Structure 1
Amino acid sequence: MLIEMVQKDFLAERRYEKLTDNSLQSYTNLFKLFNEWLSQKGIERIEELSPRVTKEFLIWCQEERKNKPKTINSKLKLLRALAKWMIDEQMIEEPFTKNVKLQREDDAPKILDEKDLQDVLRYLRRVRRREDTFTSRRNYSLILFMAGTGTRLSEVCSLTWRDIDLDSSLITIRTSKSRKAQSIPLSNVLRSELMDYQDFLQRKLGRVPESLFVTREGNPLQKDSIQNIFKRLRAKLGLQGYFSPHTLRNHFIKGLLRGGLNLREAQLLARHSKIEVTKQYVGYYQHELKDALDESNPLRGLL
């Protein structure tokens, strides 16, 4: 049986099971890359798949495509799901991913330097005052929104103005990672910013588009467009540290913990399904605790 035909059947079943669009796209992208590599090796039938083939493919991804452990592991997990389905369908007897182990990942969250974020916002405010361009105003609101809500990139792309309740200061996330609708509070500062941004859209475009963050033409911003915004700002300002959409989420969670929220409260606001994920953020800003220790030194008054 041809590998590509099996993959098509697998994807059709996953669509029937209502797998998210993001997950389906992940499978599609992987299968395209995997099949191109298999074609170079002269492999086209499922009988030719084996753990050795899987390892060689992942090694190629690491060495030739410079994939990091997290990306390698994501590919392996997707291939494992395909192999398990093929076994369930009695196409093969043993998984072609058998004994292929995940790589060790650095699970420390990539934390954004506070000064870098301040520099970015200061730069955008300066450009906005000087030029009042659409992109500078939108980008300022976008980065402030992500830093102030901890929303994921995919969630930001899917948000519409109907999801923003300015009266109740509440945001509804309808396409969350858990696939369940979730709500997060909107701070007073961010609420005021969004109201100003909404007025700006009305003035610049003559209307308020359906999507929250849009292009000059009023079309929804896509993932790659937002990622490019971060890349350009990082290059423009010469930032040396981490600066990406996900680091703003990390910055949000770190800020909650540093501000005094307990783990449970931070977990709820971060919308982590497991508190263990939230715990990863504790201890990644020890250098910032030095001043707090000096102010609340347990030895004060003893010496």
Structure 2
Amino acid sequence: MLLKFAINDFLDDREFKNVTPNTLSNYKNILGQFHDFCVENEVVNVEDVTLNVVKKFILFYQKKGNNATSTNSKLQRIRAFFNFMIETEVIQKNPASKISKAKEDIRIEVFSDYHIKQMLNYYRRIKQREKVFWAYRDHTIIVILLGTGIRLSELTSLKWADIDFVNQTLSVFGKNRKLESIPLAEKVIKELSAYKIYCEQQFGTDKVKSFVFTDRDNQGLTANAIKCMFKRLSKIMNFKDVRLSAHTFRHTFCQKCIHAGMSTFAIQRLMRHSSIVVTEKYAAMWGNDLKEQNEKFNPLNTLNL
């Protein structure tokens, strides 16, 4: 079977299974790269793809700068594709099944208080100038990301109807298309309330009914638009020690909760991790418990030195 047609069948199957638009786009990009690589190496049929071909593809993009996370993402998507080929009885074995995942760095970047203050102060300064709308919107985006830990996809799909100002909760569709409700802190509610009033003054009360974060024409922002926003801000801030992205705010939210002494179970609920194992990984990295236990029970405590 031609690789091109096989990939199209697979993508149709993913769409039929209602994967998220981001996931579908990711499949298209990676499998498109894989198809082009195979054709360049004169491999056009699914049955002719070998373990060596997949390895060469992975190595090719590693040399182009793919880190361990990107490498593992490619490997995961390719494995899923060939598993589908096995299910549809096109092939019998998955050529990518024996390729080991790349070891990923365990360092997770977070913002310091200095980083956060610099970003917020920048938007506060330009709020008094001609770019008031963009400055206020982007300032609010940072506050919401930092105060809730929601994902980029959840931020872009956020609508005013999802916010319960009375009960101070936010409804979001998580990674698994599961509707979940999370509590909002008092400061977050105040920020959103003030921003809503500002939007009503800008666009009219009757028009502020859909997306919370929009462009100047009141059209909802895309994930790419927010990525571009952070790219521009990154050049202005010029932080050398941290990547400026929506996910870094999510990590920062998690770290701040751990440092404040919040329970692992509560953090899991707020972050909406599918498994508490993920939360425990962060707790082990940023938790203060080990330091406190060492201070309390260290053998030197009983010695006069």
TM-score between the two structures when normalised by the length of structure 1:
0.91
User: 2 CA distance for matches of 1:134 and 1:151?
Assistant: 23
Q: SS of 1:217's equivalent?
A: coil
The yes-or-no answer on 1:38 pairing with 2:38 is yes
Identify the residue that residue 201 of structure 1 maps to in structure 2.
199
Which deviations, in whole Å up to 9, do the C-alpha atoms of 1:84-120 show, x marking residues without a partner? 1111222112212132111001133222222101110
Identify the residue that residue 249 of structure 2 maps to in structure 1.
248
Which deviations, in whole Å up to 9, do the C-alpha atoms of 1:139-172 show, x marking residues without a partner? 0000000000000001111111111111111100
Quick one: which amino acid aligns to residue 227 of structure 2? Q
Q: Structure 2 matches for 1:175-190, cutoff 5 A? A: 176-190=174-188
User: 1 CA distance for matches of 2:209 and 2:241?
Assistant: 34
Structure 1 residue 132 displacement after superposition: 5.7
Distance 1:200 1:87, change over 3 A: same
More divergent stretch after superposition (132-141 vs 18-27): 18-27
Distance 1:259 1:98, change over 3 A: closer
User: 2 CA distance for matches of 1:140 and 1:297?
Assistant: 45
User: 2 CA distance for matches of 1:187 and 1:286?
Assistant: 22
Q: Structure 2 matches for 1:210-249, cutoff 5 A? A: 210-242=210-242, 243-249=244-250
Identify the residue that residue 18 of structure 2 maps to in structure 1.
18
Distance 1:2 1:249, change over 3 A: same
Contact 2:37–2:57 (8 Å) recurs in 1: yes
Contact 1:111–1:251 (8 Å) recurs in 2: yes
Contact 1:264–1:275 (8 Å) recurs in 2: yes
Distance 1:189 1:297, change over 3 A: farther
Identify the residue that residue 276 of structure 1 maps to in structure 2.
277
Q: Structure 2 matches for 1:146-157, cutoff 5 A? A: 146-157=145-156
Which deviations, in whole Å up to 9, do the C-alpha atoms of 1:55-95 show, x marking residues without a partner? 0011111112x111111101111111111111122211221
Structure 1 residue 130 displacement after superposition: 4.1
TM-score between the two structures when normalised by the length of structure 2:
0.90
Aligned residues: 298
Identify the residue that residue 86 of structure 2 maps to in structure 1.
87
User: 1 CA distance for matches of 2:66 and 2:261?
Assistant: 37
Q: SS of 2:128's equivalent?
A: helix
User: 1 CA distance for matches of 2:195 and 2:296?
Assistant: 41
Quick one: which amino acid aligns to residue 214 of structure 1? T
Quick one: which amino acid aligns to residue 37 of structure 2? W
Identify the residue that residue 134 of structure 2 maps to in structure 1.
135
User: 2 CA distance for matches of 1:300 and 1:59?
Assistant: 53
Identify the residue that residue 268 of structure 2 maps to in structure 1.
267
Q: Structure 2 matches for 1:281-300, cutoff 5 A? A: 281-285=282-286
Contact 1:69–1:105 (8 Å) recurs in 2: yes
User: 1 CA distance for matches of 2:24 and 2:238?
Assistant: 36
Structure 1 residue 296 displacement after superposition: 9.1
Contact 1:109–1:280 (8 Å) recurs in 2: no
Identify the residue that residue 116 of structure 1 maps to in structure 2.
115
Quick one: which amino acid aligns to residue 81 of structure 1? A
